[in-house]
Structure 1
Amino acid sequence: MSIVPLSAADIEVRINELSDLLHACVMDGASVNFVMPYAIEDAERFWRKKVLARMDDGLLTVLGWMEGGRVVGSVQLDADTPPNQAHRADVKKMLVHPAYQRRGIGKALMAAVEQVARDKGLTLLTLDTRSGDKGEPLYRASGFEVAGIIPGYSRDPFADVYDACTYMYKQLA
């Protein structure tokens, strides 16, 4: 069990594992931008088009939790911000495979992504989550504070209803 940075080459080699991870989380109800129907091919497309395509600029960091030789958790740090926001980054796609949840993996990934941000000299982290989602207590326990809630922000993955979104932040300095 370890947390490792995933390079573009690592993601390419582990694209099936990462696609399975994302697909399993979405099917388990994670509100991470996708709605039903959601096929494994959609998950692979995400990793190829939204992650691999952005790895060259060094502004997107992907961390993976390795267990049993597989990636069963991941989180992204996106530092692609405007010039007046170069001090901050967004925490994105905090994923732990449903079969591995409630084991401290999410907490460890959040601590690791925070350390990466500190190492990059960043002083502010932001994220958003569906209000009331099971990730929200993790973010609060990791020291994130609520900046605000926007009602009706995003479509529920399973139903044609719109859920509120909670925006959160953490000062690192």
Structure 2
Amino acid sequence: METIMLEHRNATRADLGILAALIDAAISELQRPFLTEAQIESSRQIMGLDTQLIDDGTYFVILLDSTIAGCGGWSRRATLYGSDATTGRDAALLDPVYDPARVRAMYTHPAYARRGVGRIILALCEQAARNEGFKRAELMGTMAGEPLYRACGYIPVERLVDGRGGVTVPLLRMTKRLM
């Protein structure tokens, strides 16, 4: 099996166009085995990038030969998931003593799926959160992301649906203790 060398860096606002296309491709293709077309379209309304993550310096891009293969980040803010356009966002800062860090907006371009991109993003997020004193991490997983999150030690807490996009989309809130 060929070994691929993935690198990472912090995302910048200059990446927004590439990230938008990557996120769209990931939602369109990787959710297909789990959601109907109407649910995929609804997902576009409740998922995506919150640029606060870029501004906070907590959003990463994963590179393969200078091509962005994936992206994702973490947050010290209260919002658990959603994009700039999603209603109900909360920029309040979390207390690492009591609150879990939020793993947010993880996407892999379909051409690079199942190559370790998601694992690298999770490891980067978890280490950065640990460095800031967080003892736990929490995320809102899609059905497509659930197997990865379980494999990386995340435990389901709550199954729910989000209908803010017009059609309900199943989601899974998951948590992990950061050692």
TM-score range, shorter chain: 0.7 to 0.9
1:22-171 alignment, distance < 5 Å: 22-30=23-31, 36=41, 47=49, 50-51=50-51, 53=52, 55-56=54-55, 58=56, 61-81=58-78, 85-87=95-97, 88-130=100-142, 133-150=143-160, 153-155=161-163, 161-171=167-177
SS of the equivalent of 2:111 reads helix
- The 1:15/1:148 distance shift into structure 2, 3 A limit, reads closer
Q: CA deviation at 1:166?
A: 1.4
Identity %: 24
Shift of 1:125: 0.4
Letter of the 1:142 counterpart: C
5+ residue gaps, structure 2, are 1-5, 79-91
Shift of 1:171: 0.9
Q: Which amino acid aligns with 2:61?
A: G
> 1:84, 1:102 → 2: CA distance?
32
Following superposition, the deviation at residue 94 of structure 1 comes to 0.9
| Count of residues in Structure 1 that have an aligned counterpart in Structure 2 | 151
Mapped partners of 1:14, 1:83: distance in 2: 25
TM-score w.r.t. length of structure 2: 0.71
Q: Does 1:5 align with 2:10?
A: yes
Which residue pairs with 2:16 in the alignment? Answer: 15
Task: Give the secondary-structure state (helix, strand or coil) at the position aligned to 1:168.
Answer: strand
8 Å Cα contact 1:17-1:70 kept in structure 2:
no
Q: Which runs of 5+ in 1 are unaligned?
A: none
Distance 1:79 1:27 in 2: 28
Offset of 1:16 from its aligned partner?
Answer: 2.0
**8 Å Cα contact 2:101-2:137 kept in structure 1:** yes
Deviation at 1:37, TM superposition (A): 8.1
Greater share of residues in strand: 1
Which amino acid in structure 1 is aligned with residue 144 of structure 2? K
Measured on the aligned residues, the alpha-carbon RMSD in Å equals 3.0
